[in-house]
């Protein structure tokens, strides 16, 4: 009981009542009206709103009635003036009696004429907003229109209809006065012109009509019109948004949105009483704040500046924000609102901040599209970059295929005779002359079994006494038998011809490579991205290096440095070294490495593992972006649907080229094979493509795992049928004639090609053309890979911190996300190192403990705090 009375006493004193003895209460302040409190009371404003709404209805009825009764009531009002209100004897015709007659006479006759009706809208807007405690209409906008409308309409109507005692006051006294003054100053015509000008100006401003002369229609860029309209619309939308934000009831537990501004926060008065509604206003706030006085809380909108892409700074107002600085409320003891986790609060108030749903990442992790931004253009990184021109390349000899009729005739006769020796008759024979070989297509006579011809392949070749005969029995899809016979005079296929071809110039391939010419002279141009990896084999001196150069040069001719990077592995140290000059344009390397072209086996292992990390990181990015492959991902990035702040970036293709694979496998074995197999299996979707070349296509080098993951394979001449089978799963490569004569197995088809020829000086020209231009500050950096074995035995206690500890701590504190994958992506680290860094950050008290799938809590909130902690740690 005693406790209860104590409580009651406390409650009472809080409400301004003081106990003076045990029997009664003395009201100390009950005589004083607390105006401030009254002004902040929601009910007060509701009453004002209701009065305003009634006033608007009253005025509307009075004015409308006046339009019909003005003549009858005019003399009465004239004669009595304001006294009419108290003159009970006088009767008037206005529907709202003497008050209606007097007020409408005042506004319509004396002031603004018909335009006075606009006043009704003002009271209506104010009334509705106050009554509903939210901004239904914009008072500010209405006020602008009413003020302008009263003036312009009254003056215009007075000008048009004139004024006189006996006349209906269309423009009212004010309108007539201004109109007459203008007429005096500008003359009737001048005044008319001014009014027309005003009307036209308003019309143009509001509707922005197009004034295109017929013949200039084409010249007027529609974009311009559109953009102006868009701006207009945007302005409208913005206004509407602002309007909607104007009045926002904030009660206990209610949530604010960014951009909302709270004018008045009322503390609860009594137990059980409702929290007062708050009025939130934008444009009228200054005025209102003055009225409400310094009791009002002002809450400022924190604009979150989000650097949405690397190169374009963007201010985004509508993304979630974390801090709302609140001016302290001098009113005592504001009751805390439900808990939140803000960074700062100065008033002791805690607000639950609701993030704007639009800015939340969509379900697939994709951010809201930031409209009205031009698409991201990766090539702007090096906007002046010029692609190498075709003039850098040479035409090697005559491009014309030499057809020697005598040679053709001899070969034909020999084929017929040889087959006849084996009792094989021919119905028809035709020849297609290619750059290196001629294909004789034969249709055997009825009853001849194709398998018989195939079995006689070696004998026929011997009889024809020529190297490089290949029998295709039957030619897939044709039902004929093909015999390829090398030409006596061969034509070199210049790289220049292929690159100049329509097929190369105008294709939509992601990574177009021009490899060579088919036997029918068709250019063989394919998309490396769809292959998706390529295995090349060939005995020494048969054209492998030229083939690799042809592929690399094709890509250099089509891709911008921002779109593609090479990882070049060259254990022989000479083949690819020419490309070292384009390091800052097209090469990728490990952080801290001097040379971009990798020649050392140990570094090859690191690089391959780093590529695996890059692959994993890219998969994480794709997953977050809800994209299935690099193309979809980059499309989203270009459309600015992905936030670089979250680690997203435009992903260049990465082409890994290993020139002598056999050497690597011999020295590093599984250490090389495993990451290559992993990359080959998984890297296609994320834009990493492999080209592996080897002189020795034996089974211990091209293992089953490697083969299974390299569906596209090229064979130059090899030394044995077994090698041909290892590389192509079929014989034939041993019968090639060298100098770029090759077989390519792609999409289950084996095609004979003459590889495009590009000489080393040409490659040097191309490389010089690129390296002479502005490049990136350094090569594209691959993620760092730390060999677990090298770390064994090393104890990573807090005294032996990772060199990246400080950077990692800063990144985590800046982002306020304790996630290992963030470290991996942003710092290009492997999982193990990132994980170890995270453990060290935990030990240093910067992040909290592991929380399973949820990211760790970040215990340090500001960079200043972090710096202190780092200084402390030493
Ligand atoms: N496509 C081609 N057209 C014409 N000639 C070619 C072509 N490819 C290669 N050759 C000729 O063959 C020679 C050897 O080619 P390349 O250097 O590419 O052989 P390789 O297989 O790389 O040899 P290695 O493995 O020993 O480096 C070239 O110097 C060139 O004269």
Q: Residue 438's domain is classified under what CATH number?
A: 3.30.980.40
Q: What pLDDT, on a 0 to 100 scale, did the predictor assign at position 675? A: 92
- Same domain as 557, residue 473: no
- Same domain as 817, residue 761: no
Average pLDDT over residues 853-869: 85
CB 521, CB 435: distance < 8 Å:
yes
- pLDDT tens digits for range 735-757: 899 999 999 999 888 999 999 99
- Same domain as 584, residue 476: no
Please report the beta strands in 171-268, taking only residues with DSSP state E, as ranges in sequence order: none
Binding residue ranges for ATP: 538-545
For residue 730, give Cα distances in angstroms to 52, 91, 483, 670, 747. 94, 116, 16, 27, 14
- Of ligand 1's atoms, which has the minimum distance to the CA of residue 695? 25
With a 6 A CB cut-off, is 543 part of the ligand 1 pocket?
Answer: yes
Residue that terminates a domain, selected from 486, 517, 540: 486
- Same domain as 550, residue 576: yes
- pLDDT tens digits for range 763-787: 999 999 999 999 999 999 998 887 6
126 vs 635: which has the higher pLDDT:
635
- Of ligand 1's atoms, which has the minimum distance to the CA of residue 538? 21
Q: What pLDDT, on a 0 to 100 scale, did the predictor assign at position 748? A: 86
The helix-helix angle for 601-625 and 630-638 (nearest 10°) equals: 60
Q: What pLDDT, on a 0 to 100 scale, did the predictor assign at position 291? A: 40
797 pLDDT tier (thresholds 50, 70, 90): low
Closest residue by CA, ligand 1 atom 11: 739
* Residue 264 in this model has a pLDDT that exceeds 70: no
Nearest to 517 by CA among 610, 620, 439: 439
With a 6 A CB cut-off, is 549 part of the ligand 1 pocket?
Answer: no
Closest residue by CA, ligand 1 atom 23: 541
* Residue 520 in this model has a pLDDT that exceeds 60: yes
- Same domain as 557, residue 479: no
Ranked by mean pLDDT, the top range of 147-156, 191-200, 437-446, 820-829 is 437-446
Dist. CA 545 → ligand 1 center (Å): 6
Q: What pLDDT, on a 0 to 100 scale, did the predictor assign at position 802? A: 82
* Residue 865 in this model has a pLDDT that exceeds 90: no
With a 6 A CB cut-off, is 758 part of the ligand 1 pocket?
Answer: no
Residue 400 domain-assigned (yes or no): no
* Residue 23 in this model has a pLDDT that exceeds 90: no
Question: What's the CATH number where 770 sits?
Answer: 3.40.50.300
Domain of residue 843 covers 788-873
* Residue 266 in this model has a pLDDT that exceeds 90: no
Binding residue ranges: 538-545
- Same domain as 755, residue 625: yes
Residue that terminates a domain, selected from 486, 515, 542: 486
Residue 29 domain-assigned (yes or no): no
Domain count, the chain: 4
- Same domain as 821, residue 759: no
With a 6 A CB cut-off, is 545 part of the ligand 1 pocket?
Answer: yes
Average pLDDT over residues 612-618: 92
Residue 292 domain-assigned (yes or no): no
Q: What pLDDT, on a 0 to 100 scale, did the predictor assign at position 788? A: 61
- Same domain as 817, residue 765: no
Q: What pLDDT, on a 0 to 100 scale, did the predictor assign at position 206? A: 66
Question: Count of CB atoms within 10 A of residue 312's CB?
Answer: 15
608 pLDDT tier (thresholds 50, 70, 90): very high
306 pLDDT tier (thresholds 50, 70, 90): very low
With a 6 A CB cut-off, is 544 part of the ligand 1 pocket?
Answer: yes
Write down the H helix ranges in 220-284.
Answer: 222-245
Q: What pLDDT, on a 0 to 100 scale, did the predictor assign at position 134? A: 66
- pLDDT tens digits for range 468-483: 788 887 887 777 888 8
156 pLDDT tier (thresholds 50, 70, 90): confident
CA distance 404 to 488: 9
Placement of tokens 């977050």 in the chain: 624
- pLDDT tens digits for range 408-431: 898 888 888 888 888 888 888 999
Average pLDDT over residues 42-61: 85
Question: Count of CB atoms within 10 A of residue 320's CB?
Answer: 16
Closest residue by CA, ligand 1 atom 2: 740
Closest residue by CA, ligand 1 atom 25: 540
With a 6 A CB cut-off, is 492 part of the ligand 1 pocket?
Answer: yes
Q: Sign of the C-alpha dihedral, residues 255, 257, 258, 260?
A: negative
Choice among 219-233, 731-745, 788-802 with the minimum mean pLDDT = 219-233
839 pLDDT tier (thresholds 50, 70, 90): confident
Q: What pLDDT, on a 0 to 100 scale, did the predictor assign at position 213? A: 57
Give the chain's mean pLDDT: 76
Dist. CA 716 → ligand 1 center (Å): 10
**pTM of the complete model beyond 0.80:** no
- Same domain as 67, residue 182: yes
Choice among 454-463, 486-495, 590-599 with the minimum mean pLDDT = 454-463
Question: Count of CB atoms within 10 A of residue 329's CB?
Answer: 20
């Amino acid at each position: 009981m005693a406790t209860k009375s104590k409580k009651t006493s406390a409650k009472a004193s809080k409400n301004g009542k003081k106990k003076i003895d045990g029997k009664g209460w003395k009201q100390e302040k009950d005589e004083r009206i607390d105006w401030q409190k009254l002004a902040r009371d929601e009910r007060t404003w509701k009453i004002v709103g209701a009065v305003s709404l009634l006033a608007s209805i009253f005025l509307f009825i009075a004015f409308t009635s006046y339009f019909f009764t003005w003549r009858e009531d005019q003399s009465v009002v004239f004669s009595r003036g304001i006294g009419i209100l108290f003159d009970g004897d006088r009767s008037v015709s206005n529907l709202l009696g003497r008050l209606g007659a007097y007020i409408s006479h005042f506004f319509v006759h004396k002031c603004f004429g018909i335009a006075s009706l606009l006043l009704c809208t003002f009271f209506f807007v104010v009334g509705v907003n106050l009554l509903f405690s939210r901004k239904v209409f914009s008072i500010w906008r209405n006020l602008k229109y009413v003020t302008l409308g009263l003036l312009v309409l009254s003056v215009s109507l007075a000008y048009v209809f004139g004024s006189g005692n006996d006349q209906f006051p269309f423009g009212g006294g004010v309108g007539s006065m201004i109109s007459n003054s203008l007429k005096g100053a500008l003359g009737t015509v001048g005044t008319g012109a001014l009014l027309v000008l005003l009307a036209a100006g308003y019309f143009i401003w509001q509707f922005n009509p197009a004034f295109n002369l017929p013949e200039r229609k084409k010249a007027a860029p529609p974009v311009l019109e559109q953009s102006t309209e868009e701006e207009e619309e945007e302005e409208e939308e913005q206004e509407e948004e602002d309007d909607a934000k104007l009045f926002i009831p904030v009660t206990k537990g209610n949530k604010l949105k960014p951009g909302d501004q709270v004018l008045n926060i009322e503390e609860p008065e009594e137990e059980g009483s409702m929290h007062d509604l708050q009025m939130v206003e934008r444009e009228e706030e200054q005025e209102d704040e003055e009225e409400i006085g310094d009791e009002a809380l002002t809450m400022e909108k924190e604009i979150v500046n989000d650097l949405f892409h690397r190169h374009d700074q963007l201010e985004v107002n509508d993304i979630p924000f974390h801090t709302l600085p609140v001016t302290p409320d001098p009113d005592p003891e504001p009751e805390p609102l439900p808990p939140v986790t803000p960074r700062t609060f100065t008033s002791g108030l805690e607000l639950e901040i609701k993030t704007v749903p639009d800015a939340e990442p969509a379900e697939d992790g994709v951010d809201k599209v930031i409209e009205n931004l031009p698409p991201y253009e990766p090539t702007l990184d090096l906007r002046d970059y010029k692609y190498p021109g075709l003039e850098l390349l040479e035409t090697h000899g005559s491009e014309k295929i030499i057809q020697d009729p005598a040679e053709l005739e001899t070969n034909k006769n020999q084929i017929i005779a040889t087959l006849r020796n084996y009792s094989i008759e021919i119905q028809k024979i035709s020849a297609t002359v290619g750059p290196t070989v001629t294909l004789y297509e034969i249709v055997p006579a009825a009853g001849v079994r194709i398998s018989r011809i195939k079995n006689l392949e070696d004998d026929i070749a011997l009889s024809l006494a020529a190297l490089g005969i290949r029998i295709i029995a039957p030619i897939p899809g044709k039902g004929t038998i093909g015999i390829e016979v090398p030409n006596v005079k061969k034509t070199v296929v210049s790289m220049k011809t292929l690159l100049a071809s329509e097929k190369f110039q105008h294709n939509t391939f992601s990574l177009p490579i021009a490899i060579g010419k088919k036997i029918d002279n068709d250019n063989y141009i394919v998309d490396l991205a769809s292959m998706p990896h390529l295995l090349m084999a060939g005995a020494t001196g048969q054209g492998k290096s030229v083939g690799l150069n042809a592929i690399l040069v094709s890509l250099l001719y089509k891709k911008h440095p921002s779109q593609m990077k090479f990882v070049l592995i060259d254990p022989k140290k000479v083949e690819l070294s020419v490309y070292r000059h384009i390091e800052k344009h097209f090469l990728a390397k490990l952080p801290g490495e001097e040379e971009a072209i990798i020649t050392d086996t140990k570094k090859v292992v690191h690089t391959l593992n780093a590529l695996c990390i890059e692959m994993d990181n890219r998969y994480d990015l794709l997953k977050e972006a809800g994209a299935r492959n690099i193309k979809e991902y980059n499309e989203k990035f270009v459309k600015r649907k992905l936030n670089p702040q979250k680690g997203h970036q435009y992903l260049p293709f990465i082409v890994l080229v290993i020139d002598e694979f056999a050497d690597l496998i011999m020295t590093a074995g599984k250490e090389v094979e495993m990451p290559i197999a992993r990359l080959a299996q998984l890297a296609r979707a994320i834009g990493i493509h492999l080209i592996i070349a080897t002189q020795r296509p034996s089974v211990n080098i091209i293992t089953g795992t490697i083969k299974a993951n390299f569906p596209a394979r090229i064979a130059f001449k090899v030394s044995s049928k077994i090698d041909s089978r290892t590389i192509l799963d079929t014989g034939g490569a041993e019968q090639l004639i060298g100098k770029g004569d090759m077989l390519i197995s792609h999409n289950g088809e084996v095609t004979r090609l003459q590889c495009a020829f590009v000489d080393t000086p040409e490659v040097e020209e191309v490389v010089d053309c690129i390296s002479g231009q502005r490049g990136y500050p350094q090569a594209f950096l691959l993620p760092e890979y730390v060999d677990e074995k090298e770390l064994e035995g090393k104890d990573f206690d807090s005294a032996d911190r990772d060199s990246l500890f400080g950077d990692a701590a800063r990144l985590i504190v800046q982002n306020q996300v304790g996630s290992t994958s963030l470290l991996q992506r942003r710092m290009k680290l492997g999982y193990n190192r990132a994980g170890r860094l995270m453990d060290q950050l935990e030990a240093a008290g910067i992040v909290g403990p592991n929380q399973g799938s949820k990211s760790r809590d970040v215990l340090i909130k500001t960079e200043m705090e972090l710096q202190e902690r780092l200084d402390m740690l030493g």
